[in-house]
Amino acid sequence: MSSGKTQFDFTDQTVVVTGGSRGIGRQICKAFAEAGARVFTCSRRTPETPFDSDRIECASVDVRDPDATTSWLARCAEASGGIDVLVNNAGGAPSVASAEASPRLMNKILALNLNAPLILSTQVHQHMVDREHGGSIVNIVSISSQRPTPTGAAYGAAKAGLMNATTSLAVEWGPKIRVNCVVAGLVVTELTGDHYGDDSTKDQIIEAIPARRFASTEEIAHGVLFLAARDSSYVSGAALEVYGGGEWPPTIPRPASD
185 contact partners, CB below 8 Å, separation of at least 6: 143, 209, 214, 215, 241, 242, 243, 244, 246
Contact 55, 127 (CB under 8 A): no
Length of the chain: 258
CA 44-88-148 angle, to 5 degrees, is: 100
Whether 196 is catalytic? no
Q: Are strands 38-43 and 56-60 parallel, antiparallel or unpaired?
A: parallel
Q: Amino acid identity of 28?
A: I
The C-alpha atoms of residue 139 and residue 127 are separated, in whole angstroms, by: 17
CB atoms under 10 Å from CB of 192, counted, come to 14
Active-site entry in 155, 196, 234, 243: 155
**3-class secondary-structure state, position 136:** strand
Q: What are phi and psi of 56, to 5 degrees?
A: -115, 125
Residues forming the active site: 155
